[in-house]
A and B are shown apart, each in its own frame.
Chain A
Amino acid sequence: MVKKVGVLSLAYCGGCEVALLSVGDMLEKIINGDISLEYCTIAVDNVEIPKVDVMLVTGAVRSQRDEELVKIAREKAKVLVPFGSCACYGGIPGLLNLENIENVLEEVFKKKTLASGGRAPTRLLHEAKPVGAVVDVDYIVPGCPPPQGLISTLATAILQNKPVRLPDTNVCPDCPRKRSEKIISVKPRQRIRSLSDLDPDKCLLEQGVLCLGSITVGGCNALCLKKGAWCSGCMGPLPGKSFDEEFIDLVSSVFSNASVEELRRAIPDLLKIAYMFVSPRSKEGERK
C-alpha cells in the first residue's frame, strides 16, 4: 500500500524539507512510489492540506495561521509527527520568547498595524510554541535538521505503521574524542578563546569547553564533533529528561570548582546556550 505523506511547514527555514528530500531512504521511497508526497509547499504544487496517513510538521507555531493550519492537519492526518527541533521543542525561533513580540515588531516595522495584523496575512502569537503545545502528536523526530539516519528510520516506520523510537543514548558514544571514565572537574574556558589550541583527541568538557553532547539525545552520528565543532544540543533532551535540568547539572558538575564570576566570564551567553533549541519546551512530551 502506498503511504500518503504530507509536510506542513509553519515558522520554518526549509532545512528540514531539504534534509527530507536529499538522497537517502526517504527520497528513494518517494521516487519508487512506496511513499506519495501529497503536500509540501516547497516541493509540491498543492495548496490545500489533504487527508494523509502521516503528516510531518516542520517549524514552530509562531502565528495564528500556524495554529489554524496545524489543527486542520491534525484532523486530516492519521498520524501527526513534529519533524525537526522547531516543531518538537520550539527550536531557534523559540529564543525570541525571551523578548516581547509587540516591541520587536514595533522596532522592526515601525507600524502598529502589522503587529496587530494590518493587511498582513496573519498575526503573530505572543510566543513561539512547539506543535505538541497545540495538538496531540504521535511521536517526534528531532534535529536541526533531523539527521539522515533518523530520516531512514522514519521512512521505514511510516511504511510499517510504527512510531519512531529515539535512542536511549546521548551523543558521546559516536564522538571521536576520548573521555575519562568519570567526569572530572575543570576550569571553564571561553569557547571563542579556546578554538585555536584545542586537543583534537580529548573530550571538550575535559578541556573546559562547554559541549552539550552528554545531555543531548543521540542519533546524529556526532557529525559536528567529527568536524571539530562542539555539540549545541540541536537534537534536544534524552527521552524522559528535561534539557534545562540536565544543563544545570552538567555545568554544576563539570565546572564545580569555578566561581560564579569565572563561569560568567567563560560563558557570557549561558542562558541562550542552554535554551538554544528548547526554550518553549525542554522536555519531550511535556504539555504546556
Chain B
Amino acid sequence: MSAEEFSTPVTLIEGHLELEVVLEEAGKRVREVLLKAWGFRGFEKLLVGLGAESIPRVAQRICGVCPVAHHVAAAKAINKALGIEIPDYAELITKIINLHGVAQSHLLHTGFMALPDMYRVKSISQILEKRKEVVDNSIRALTNSQRIVSILGGRQVHPVTLVPGGVSYTPSREDIEAVEKACREGIDSLKKLVDEVLEDYTKYLEEVNKSMKYTSTYYVALRGSEPLEFYDGDIIVLHRRQLVSSFKPHMYQDYIEEETVDYSYSKLTKVIVGREKHMFRVGPLARIYGLKDPGYDLSREIYEAFNKLNKEYPENPLLYTMARLVEIAYCFERTLDILEELKKTSIKPRVHVEPRRGEGVAAVEAPRGLLVHHYKLNNSGVVEYANIITPTVHNLRPMEEDVRKTAYSYIDSNGFKKHEYETIAKTIVRAYDPCISCSTHFVKIKTI
C-alpha cells in the first residue's frame, strides 16, 4: 500500500525545522514522524585556525538568540586551555552577563513565540488588540535584560567584553546603577506579566494537555553552589526529580552518546547511566526539577505556582514555559545580590595571558540547557580542535518522541486529522524553545 507523506516548517522557533509525517494504509496508520533540522554552517571547522582571543567573539555567531551563553562558554573553555583563572571581579561580571543572556532569550521566547501560541494568534502584534498590557510588560522586561547585556557586554546581540584573562571593560559607577535599575524594573514588569497571564496559561495547559501525549525522560543540568546554577559545577542526571548520576564537565564524552540520522543535520543523543542509556531533556525544566528553593521572593512565588501545575501535569513539556518564568525572575533577583558582591570586590578586570598549548572544556547553562565548549590550542594560542555540544541536540529526541506519540492519537475512522495534529505538534515543539541553528552541528561524542 502506498504511503502518503506531508511536511510543514515549524514556525515561531529559531532555525529551520520541518515536521514530516508518513502515513500508510490510506491514512489509517502513522508510519513515521520525523523532525528534520537543516541550516548547517560548520562552526567547529571554521573556528580551527583562529587565535584563542577571537573564539568568544566568533563562536557565539552560532546563535543570535543565545549568543551570550556561547560567549561565556567559549571564554571559560579558552581560559581553561590557557591555564588562566580569571579575577573574582571579572567572574562576577561574567556571571551577570550570563544570567541576562538567559533572561533575554527566555523573554524573547515568552513574548514573541510562547504568548502568540497561547493566545492562538500569528504574532505578538495580534496580541496587542486583546491584551496590550501583556505585550507591554513582556517587552519592558526584555528590554531591561537586554540593557544589562549591552552595558556589561558591549552589545546586546554578540557581546564582546569576555576575553582571555577576564573582561575587557570595567563598568563605571553609572553603569552599575543602570544595571540595578534595570533589574528592579525587570522584576516589576515580570511580576505584572505573570499576574496577567497565569490564569490564561493554566487554562491553556489544561486544554492542550488533553490533546497531546508526552514522555517521561531523564533530565540533565549543572549543579553548583548557587540555588540555580548557570555557570559552574558538576553535570547531574535526574530521574523523577531524584539524583541518579553526576559527572565532571570534562568527562562529557564518556557520558553522552550521539547518533547520526540520515534525515537531519542535527544528531540525537542519550545519557549513559550505569549500563543503561536514556533519552533526556535539558533546559529550564531540567534545572527547575533539580531546584529546592530559588531563594528570592518573586522566583519563589512563581516556583510555587510551577509546582502546583507540575503536580497536575508532571513532565508535560509545556511546563517549560512556566519554568522559564521562574528563571527570568531568578536572573533579575540574583543579579542584585551579585552587584552587592561586586561592590565589595577589588577592581581587577583581567590578568596577563601568555599563549600556550592546552586543552579546555567548559560547561555552562545556556537558556535552552547544558552547553559544552571544548578547545585544543597550539603553542601560539591558535585553535586546532573545537567541539561544541548545544542543548537543543539533546532535546530533539524527546521532542520527536512527543510529537510521534501524539500523532498516533490523531487517527479516527476518517483517517488522520492533519490540521489538528499540525497545530498541536507545533505547540509541543515550541514549548521546548528549540534553537535549530545551535543544533545543526558538528558534535563529536561517542557514536553508536
**Extra pairs beyond A21-B108, A107-B442 (10, CB < 8 Å):** A11-B41, A14-B63, A18-B156, A22-B156, A42-B13, A118-B263, A121-B16, A195-B163, A227-B155, A268-B380
The answer to whether A224 and B262 have CB atoms under 8 Å apart is: no
- Of B123-131, B338-346, B409-417, the segment with at least 4 beta carbons within 8 Å of chain A is B123-131
State A15–B438 Cα separation when bound (angstroms): 12
> Which residue of B is nearest A265, CB measured?
B380
In the complex, which of the residues A36, A196, A272 contacts B353, with contact meaning CB atoms closer than 8 Å? A196
In the complex, which of the residues A9, A118, A192 contacts B51, with contact meaning CB atoms closer than 8 Å? A192
In the complex, which of the residues A19, A41, A272 contacts B49, with contact meaning CB atoms closer than 8 Å? A272
Q: A111-B260, A195-B164 are in contact. Are A15 and B67 (CB under 8 A)?
A: yes
Q: A14-B14, A23-B143, A193-B353 are in contact. Are A113 and B262 (CB under 8 A)?
A: yes
Q: A18-B65, A193-B353, A196-B165 are in contact. Are A41 and B11 (CB under 8 A)?
A: yes
State A13–B39 Cα separation when bound (angstroms): 9
For residue B61, CB closer than 8 A to chain A, the reply is: yes
Q: A118-B262, A120-B264 are in contact. Are A13 and B11 (CB under 8 A)?
A: no
State A14–B61 Cα separation when bound (angstroms): 9
For B61, the chain A residues whose CB sits under 8 A away are 13, 15, 91-92, 144
Total contacts A-B at CB 8 Å: 243
For residue B351, CB closer than 8 A to chain A, the reply is: yes
Which 5 pairs from chain A and chain B are nearest by CB? A15-B64, A228-B168, A227-B154, A119-B263, A95-B46
State A272–B108 Cα separation when bound (angstroms): 32
The answer to whether B38 and A227 have CB atoms under 8 Å apart is: no
For residue A47, CB closer than 8 A to chain B, the reply is: yes
Give the interface residue-count category, chain B.
Answer: 35 or more
For A122, the chain B residues whose CB sits under 8 A away are 38
In the complex, which of the residues A9, A65, A96, A190 contacts B45, with contact meaning CB atoms closer than 8 Å? A96
The answer to whether A18 and B64 have CB atoms under 8 Å apart is: yes
State A59–B160 Cα separation when bound (angstroms): 21
CB distance from A278 to the nearest CB of B (A): 14
State A33–B42 Cα separation when bound (angstroms): 39
Residues B338-392 near A (CB distance < 8 A): 350-355, 380-382
For B67, the chain A residues whose CB sits under 8 A away are 13, 15
The answer to whether A269 and B54 have CB atoms under 8 Å apart is: yes
> Which residue of A is nearest B70, CB measured?
A13
Q: A42-B13, A114-B262, A120-B36 are in contact. Are A229 and B168 (CB under 8 A)?
A: yes
> Which residue of A is nearest B262, CB measured?
A118
> Which residue of B is nearest A16, CB measured?
B64
Q: A145-B158, A229-B163 are in contact. Are A273 and B54 (CB under 8 A)?
A: yes
The answer to whether B46 and A108 have CB atoms under 8 Å apart is: no
The answer to whether B381 and A192 have CB atoms under 8 Å apart is: yes
CB distance from A15 to the nearest CB of B (A): 2
15 A-B pairs, CB-CB below 8 angstroms? A15-B157, A18-B157, A41-B11, A45-B123, A92-B46, A99-B42, A118-B263, A145-B157, A192-B53, A195-B164, A195-B168, A196-B353, A224-B154, A229-B169, A268-B51
The answer to whether B353 and A195 have CB atoms under 8 Å apart is: yes
**Digit string of B241-279 for contact with A (CB within 8 Å is 1, else 0)?**
000000000000000000010111101000000000000
Residues A178-193 near B (CB distance < 8 A): 190-193
For residue A44, CB closer than 8 A to chain B, the reply is: yes
State A211–B403 Cα separation when bound (angstroms): 49
Residues A78-94 near B (CB distance < 8 A): 91-93
The answer to whether A229 and B160 have CB atoms under 8 Å apart is: yes
Interface size on A, residues (CB 8 A): 80
> Which residue of A is nearest B10, CB measured?
A41
State A18–B353 Cα separation when bound (angstroms): 34
In the complex, which of the residues A11, A37, A113, A114 contacts B39, with contact meaning CB atoms closer than 8 Å? A11
CB distance from A206 to the nearest CB of B (A): 18
The answer to whether A31 and B353 have CB atoms under 8 Å apart is: no
Residues A99-115 near B (CB distance < 8 A): 99, 101, 104-105, 107-111, 113-114
> Which residue of A is nearest B62, CB measured?
A13
For residue B146, CB closer than 8 A to chain A, the reply is: yes
**Digit string of B308-339 for contact with A (CB within 8 Å is 1, else 0)?**
00000000000000000000000000000000
CB distance from B210 to the nearest CB of A (A): 22
For residue A168, CB closer than 8 A to chain B, the reply is: no
For B125, the chain A residues whose CB sits under 8 A away are 30-31, 33, 36-37
> Which residue of B is nearest A63, CB measured?
B38
For residue A70, CB closer than 8 A to chain B, the reply is: no
Most B Cβ at <10 Å: residue of A15, A37, A40, A111: A15
Most A Cβ at <10 Å: residue of B40, B57, B117, B163: B40
> Which residue of A is nearest B447, CB measured?
A110
For residue A175, CB closer than 8 A to chain B, the reply is: no
For residue A169, CB closer than 8 A to chain B, the reply is: no
> Which residue of B is nearest A117, CB measured?
B262
The answer to whether B154 and A43 have CB atoms under 8 Å apart is: no
For residue A67, CB closer than 8 A to chain B, the reply is: no
In the complex, which of the residues A18, A99, A226, A272 contacts B154, with contact meaning CB atoms closer than 8 Å? A226
In the complex, which of the residues A37, A92, A111 contacts B123, with contact meaning CB atoms closer than 8 Å? A37
For A196, the chain B residues whose CB sits under 8 A away are 165, 350-353
CB distance from B162 to the nearest CB of A (A): 10
CB distance from B424 to the nearest CB of A (A): 14
State A13–B158 Cα separation when bound (angstroms): 11
CB distance from A185 to the nearest CB of B (A): 23
For B350, the chain A residues whose CB sits under 8 A away are 195-196
For residue B181, CB closer than 8 A to chain A, the reply is: no
For residue A17, CB closer than 8 A to chain B, the reply is: yes
**Digit string of B156-178 for contact with A (CB within 8 Å is 1, else 0)?**
11101101110111000000000
In the complex, which of the residues A36, A107, A121, A195 contacts B38, with contact meaning CB atoms closer than 8 Å? A121
Residues B150-202 near A (CB distance < 8 A): 153-158, 160-161, 163-165, 167-169
In the complex, which of the residues A13, A33, A223 contacts B63, with contact meaning CB atoms closer than 8 Å? A13
For A57, the chain B residues whose CB sits under 8 A away are none
For residue A46, CB closer than 8 A to chain B, the reply is: yes
For residue A62, CB closer than 8 A to chain B, the reply is: yes
For B211, the chain A residues whose CB sits under 8 A away are none
**Digit string of B32-73 for contact with A (CB within 8 Å is 1, else 0)?**
001010111110111001111110011001111101000000
For B39, the chain A residues whose CB sits under 8 A away are 11-12, 59, 62-63
For residue A276, CB closer than 8 A to chain B, the reply is: yes
For residue A152, CB closer than 8 A to chain B, the reply is: no
In the complex, which of the residues A9, A46, A197, A227 contacts B160, with contact meaning CB atoms closer than 8 Å? A227
